[in-house]
Amino acid sequence: MSILSINNVSKSYGSGSSKVDVLKNINLEVENGEFLAIVGFSGSGKTTLMQMLAGLVQPDRGEIIFKGEKVTGPSAERGMIFQNYSLLPWLTVYENVALSVNAIYKDKSKVIKDRIIRESVEMVNLTPAINKKPKELSGGMRQRVSVARALAVDPELLLMDEPLSALDALTRGNLQDEILNIWSKNKRTAILITNDVDEGILMADRIIPLDPGPNATFGPEFKIDLERPRDKTAMNHDPRFKQIRNNIIEYLMDIGEGRKSTETEEFILPDLQPIIKGSSLKKVA
Ligand SMILES: Nc1ncnc2c1ncn2[C@@H]1O[C@H](COP(=O)(O)OP(=O)(O)OP(=O)(O)O)[C@@H](O)[C@H]1O
């Protein structure tokens, strides 16, 4: 059964000559318990789409339906891990995670909330830094805090906007496993934006490309019918994995080529001569 529907959604920013038409008439159904990955080009509107799913930005046209109700604002049921970690600088790691745990689990006892916070911090291997403030942490550590903060409150729909892209390979691998654990153990629904096709194949049931904007729309879906749990190393030798990977990369390269040729047509630089002492700038005919 579908838990989330995107129905004919369009979104632009600005007006007049500075208007940017980001997304045009996009449609999508996400099944309850599904793990969906969206891959796409920089600036195609992936973050805009996630912000609309989180209820932080409203579509100009169309609607987003979550569990039968129109999304009109943020909700604890739809948790988001942002690309930039958005921590409060004056709070420690513990306090940053506590902020969302206290807001969502109002009825739980202090002892239980303390346990949830500590377990979440431990899950991202930050227990030694639990009393540190963001400025004392590396970028990767800050991103891990924001992952812990989102996973601690176990949202029904987990929205992830390239949450792992700035991390080293080892931490990235550990967090991929943790996200998959929580998703499968608690039977949650997840949408991940990633620029890494291998990460999408490792984690998702389905990968959908967002074609380049302006007026971006979804490309064809690629089903990832590989058995779970998936082993990163073993997958590299699996012919089915290689075939899926090739199909997706080929599609993205074809779309990228199309984009490059339009860009060349659109931006032809004027042929100018440099300013020579005592003369003015001349345009060569
Ligand atoms: N608040 C805003 N006001 C005006 N334009 C915006 C705003 N947010 C995004 N845009 C523009 O909308 C387009 C899509 O941006 P968006 O951040 O959604 O793309 P993206 O696919 O997430 O990009 P990236 O992968 O580089 O993060 C871009 O041209 C961007 O400049």
The band of 205, judged by pLDDT with boundaries at 50, 70 and 90, is very high
Contacts of 273 (CB under 8 A, 6+ apart): 281, 282, 283, 284
CA distance 277 to 274: 10
Contact 26, 9 (CB under 8 A): yes
Residue 26 has pLDDT above 50, yes or no: yes
Tell me, what DSSP letter sits at residue 17?
G
Closest residue by CA, ligand 1 atom 30:
43
The band of 285, judged by pLDDT with boundaries at 50, 70 and 90, is very low
Which of 107-121, 141-155, 206-220, 233-247 shows the lowest per-residue confidence on average (mean pLDDT)? 141-155
Q: C-alpha distances in angstroms, 257 versus 21, 40, 44, 224? A: 21, 14, 15, 25
Q: Residue 6 Cα, ligand 1 centroid: separation in angstroms? A: 19
Q: Ligand 1 pocket: which of 21, 48, 60, 208 to mutate (most atoms <8 Å of CB)?
A: 48
The band of 25, judged by pLDDT with boundaries at 50, 70 and 90, is very high
pTM, two decimals, is 0.86
Residue 150 has pLDDT above 80, yes or no: yes
How high is the pLDDT of residue 104? 87
Q: Ligand 1 pocket: which of 44, 195, 217 to mutate (most atoms <8 Å of CB)?
A: 44
User: In one letter, which amino acid is 53?
Assistant: L
Indicate the CATH number of 2-255 among 3.30.1330.40, 3.40.50.300, 3.10.50.40, 3.40.50.970: 3.40.50.300
The band of 220, judged by pLDDT with boundaries at 50, 70 and 90, is very high
Q: Where are the domains of the chain?
A: 2-255
Closest residue by CA, ligand 1 atom 4:
13
Ligand 1 closest atom vs CA 83:
27
CA distance 75 to 157: 10
Q: Can you list the positions of beta strands (E) in the chain?
A: 2-13, 20-31, 35-40, 61-66, 69-70, 78-81, 157-161, 189-193, 206-210, 222-223
Residues at CB less than 6 angstroms from ligand 1: 13-14, 20, 22, 40, 42-48
Q: Residue 43 Cα, ligand 1 centroid: separation in angstroms? A: 5
Ligand 1 closest atom vs CA 48:
18
CA distance 155 to 266: 44
How high is the pLDDT of residue 57? 95
Q: Ligand 1 pocket: which of 46, 52, 80, 215 to mutate (most atoms <8 Å of CB)?
A: 46
